[in-house]
Amino acid sequence: MGQQILIRDVPEPIRKWLDRQRYEQRLSLKEVLLSVLDKAYRGQETAPLFSSTLAATLPPHFTPFTFIDLFAGIGGFRIALTKLGGRCLFSCEWDKYAQKTYAAWFGEVPTGDIRKVKPADIPDHDVLAAGFPCQPFSIAGVSKKNSLGHAHGFKDATQGTLFFNVATIIEAKRPPVVVLENVKNLLSHNRGGTWQVIKETLESLDYRVFHKVIDAAAWVPQHRERIFIVCFDRHLFGDSPQFEFPEPPARNGLKLKQILEASPPKAYTLTDHLWKYLQEYAERHRAKGNGFGFGMADLEGISRTLSARYYKDGSEILIPQHGKNPRRLTPRESARLMGFPDDRQIVVSDTQAYRQFGNAVVPLVIEAVGREIMRTLAWLLAKHKNGCLVKGRLVTGAIGRNGDR
Ligand SMILES: C[S@@+](CC[C@H](N)C(=O)[O-])C[C@H]1O[C@@H](n2cnc3c(N)ncnc32)[C@H](O)[C@@H]1O
């Protein structure tokens, strides 16, 4: 028998139960069966079925998948999707400093300007990931049918914006899943017109669109609200794919003080001149009834949002110090505030590091969203028994109209 076991004629109820376990536990059939056997072998009657050491060492993903990383920055998406079993086939980022970090972390220099990328040169992939910059659109609206030239197609509405390039790639490559991230005020930008055009564009391309604003504070000691947009190709998933955004877990209790360096270099303490300026600026604004200019962080709590402009004066997150002027976060502390582990080396100047972390996505949030996407993939595959995703297409004997796409 060697290491193989072949089981024929599995009774239907057992087969169904196995499928349910696969879906609920996000494990492959092999992983489920090995867990069951492992449990029986060890006789751990009281332990939950999938908490065995074997299950714990198995990769957390259910379906191996491929993805592309657009507006890649320093690869926040890539860290999370790779952890879920994804393989990156293409990356695109034009900033040379972000490229430097990306190359150091992933061993590849991303392609430059997305506007020069031909969709035909991008490999087929299962998931398109992009944290695209937010730009205004005309609010003319997008229609699926460009009938008699009256309605606007997405090309009219988004021409000249970077989202247009994303939409063109989606149209050409038809990835089964699209994951986008942006600042929360994408929803209110341009009086709601920007979001309206983005949503209509994705729907006009025949994708089912889900969106949710999620605060990363459940994962990292930072208040950071971002919009996450997940789209499923209707041709594959139908009109009602089983998908829900993750509920943020109960806060893990991580406090800002726990991510601070023990002995930060003196250089991060504000000079008397800058500290005086920030206080006077805040006082002027307070007198006018406006908010404070700087944010003194609560070390026992969580910080404000780290922005890409943090490098300018660090005023949005100042760390109080006994008997001294406050200081700004060090680049390493900024990385930790975003959930990037310490083994990610910082290979650029402080200025560039602050910009990169301030622009990035929190990988732990993408990981949580990605797990739910994996469930949807598992649901799709379970629905079409024996199906598998190959090059972004569902290959199965029973899929009907989509099988020959
Ligand atoms: C919000 S950041 C994305 C950060 C990324 N999600 C991460 O985790 O690091 C947007 C990125 O788009 C890049 N970008 C802007 N215009 C671009 C273009 N025309 N071609 C390629 N990249 C571009 C910027 O340099 C920036 O790094």
Domain ranges, ordered by start, for the chain: 12-57, 65-251+361-402, 256-358
Q: What's the confidence (pLDDT) of residue 295?
A: 87
pLDDT of residue 147: 46
The single residue of 88, 134, 231, 388 carrying the catalytic annotation is 134
Active site residue 134: yes
Q: For 261-265, which contacts have Cβ atoms below 8 Å and span 24 or more sequence positions?
A: 261/330, 261/332, 261/333, 264/327, 264/330, 264/333, 265/330
Say which CATH architecture domain 256-358 belongs to. Answer: Alpha-Beta Complex (3.90)
Helices 29-42, 12-25: axis angle to 10 degrees equals 100
Between 19 and 229, whose confidence is greater? 229
Would the pLDDT of 324 be above 80?
yes
105 Cβ closer than 6 Å to some ligand 1 atom: no
The CB of 92 under 6 Å from ligand 1? The reply is yes
pLDDT given at position 207: 97
User: Ligand 1 centroid to 73 CA: how many Å?
Assistant: 5
Query: Which residue puts its alpha carbon closest to atom 19 of ligand 1?
Result: 113
Residue 310 to residue 329: CA distance in whole angstroms: 9
Q: Structure tokens of 8?
A: 């024929």
Homologous superfamily, domain 65-251+361-402: Vaccinia Virus protein VP39 (3.40.50.150)
Predicted confidence (pLDDT) per residue in 12-48, tens digit: 778 888 877 777 777 777 878 888 887 777 765 443 3
Mean pLDDT, range 119-142, rounded to an integer: 84
Question: Is residue 73 pLDDT above 80, yes or no?
Answer: yes
Q: Is the CB of 227 under 6 A from ligand 1?
A: no
pLDDT at residue 192 is higher than 80: yes
210 — pLDDT class (breaks 50, 70, 90): very high
